[in-house]
């Protein structure tokens, strides 16, 4: 259990670092002059962010992207598990219906086998 949690934590850290590097590269290489964000009636330009505002903006962007990637992976895993359960239930239902259909034939075959099967002759025990 400890190795799984450690591997998951390392993978999440690597994902966060990769996303942070990619967003930082995009932030400083793309033109941000025409991009504005409106929050509660106030408009901010991404080109005007300085110092701590820039750091907070980058942290929020990284957090949102990492959460979106993790949520997508969780949805894929849940979908695969639900699909596997559906397939298993379908196979179980098909097997049960086949057993119901074939049970009279199995009963007849067993009765015929018992009727024509050679039974061993009983051996009498010697009484002293």
pLDDT (tens digit per residue) in 14-40? 988 898 888 888 877 878 777 787 888
Amino acid 37: pLDDT: 79
Sign of the dihedral defined by the CA atoms of residues 40, 42, 44, 49, in that order? negative
Across the chain, mean pLDDT equals 87
For residue 76, what are its two tokens?
């894929």
Q: How confident is the model at residue 48 (pLDDT cuts 50, 70, 90)?
A: confident
DSSP strands (E only) in the chain: 36-39, 42-45
| pLDDT, average across residues 53-66 | 85
Q: Cα–Cα distance between 49 and 69 in angstroms, integer?
A: 26
| pLDDT, average across residues 82-87 | 98
Q: Cα–Cα distance between 65 and 61 in angstroms, integer?
A: 6
Q: How confident is the model at residue 128 (pLDDT cuts 50, 70, 90)?
A: low
| pLDDT, average across residues 53-57 | 81
């Amino acid at each position: 259990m400890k190795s799984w949690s450690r591997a998951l934590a390392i993978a999440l850290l690597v994902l966060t670092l990769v996303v942070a590097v990619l967003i930082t590269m995009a932030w400083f290489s793309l033109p941000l002059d025409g991009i504005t964000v409106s929050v509660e009636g106030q408009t901010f330009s991404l080109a005007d962010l300085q110092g701590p505002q820039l750091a907070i903006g980058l942290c929020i962007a990284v957090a949102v992207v990492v959460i979106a990637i993790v949520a997508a992976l969780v949805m894929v895993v849940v979908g695969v598990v639900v699909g596997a359960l559906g397939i298993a239930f379908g196979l179980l239902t098909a097997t049960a219906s086949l057993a119901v259909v074939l049970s009279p034939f199995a009963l007849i075959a067993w009765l015929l086998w018992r009727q024509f099967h050679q039974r061993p002759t009983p051996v009498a025990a010697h009484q002293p």
